[in-house]
Amino acid sequence: DQQVKQNSPSLSVQEGRISILNCDYTNSMFDYFLWYKKYPAEGPTFLISISSIKDKNEDGRFTVFLNKSAKHLSLHIVPSQPGDSAVYFCAASGISGSARQLTFGSGTQLTVLP
């Protein structure tokens, strides 16, 4: 059951350039999407989110784009910094009961080279 997919297990980018991480989903009931960053031996750290009523959300160096017709979202980091090197998880949620469960992708390891 792969409702949220991150097809690139790894990505390397030069410092100062743009990093683009991609995520696809299959469940049309998802209406809220989040990106988390995770370092080894730590919990996921929230980065940015987007509601299905929007197609773009920006926060500093991070921008998330949502293409609902393609069921695709992407995270842009610009400029990339060596401290951005981590595993990035896409997660999605939809109305279910009285609380929301997140469905995670498998993650993309981003390495930013100095």
Partner 1 sequence: EPEVTQTPSHQVTQMGQEVILRCVPISNHLYFYWYRQILGQKVEFLVSFYNNEISEKSEIFDDQFSVERPDGSNFTLKIRSTKLEDSAMYFCASSEQGFPQETQYFGPGTRLLVL
Positions touching partner 1 (CB under 8 A) are 31-32, 34, 36, 41-46, 49, 51, 89, 91, 93, 95-107
The CB-of-114 to partner 1 minimum distance in angstroms stands at 27
CA–CA dist 1, 104 (Å, integer): 11
Residue with smaller CB distance to partner 1, 17 or 59: 59
Residue with smaller CB distance to partner 1, 18 or 39: 39
The CB-of-104 to partner 1 minimum distance in angstroms stands at 4
Residue with smaller CB distance to partner 1, 6 or 80: 6
Using only C-alpha atoms, the chain has a radius of gyration, in whole angstroms, of 14
- Non-local CB neighbours of 88 within 8 Å, separated by 6+ positions: 21, 35, 36, 37, 38, 47, 75, 107, 108, 110
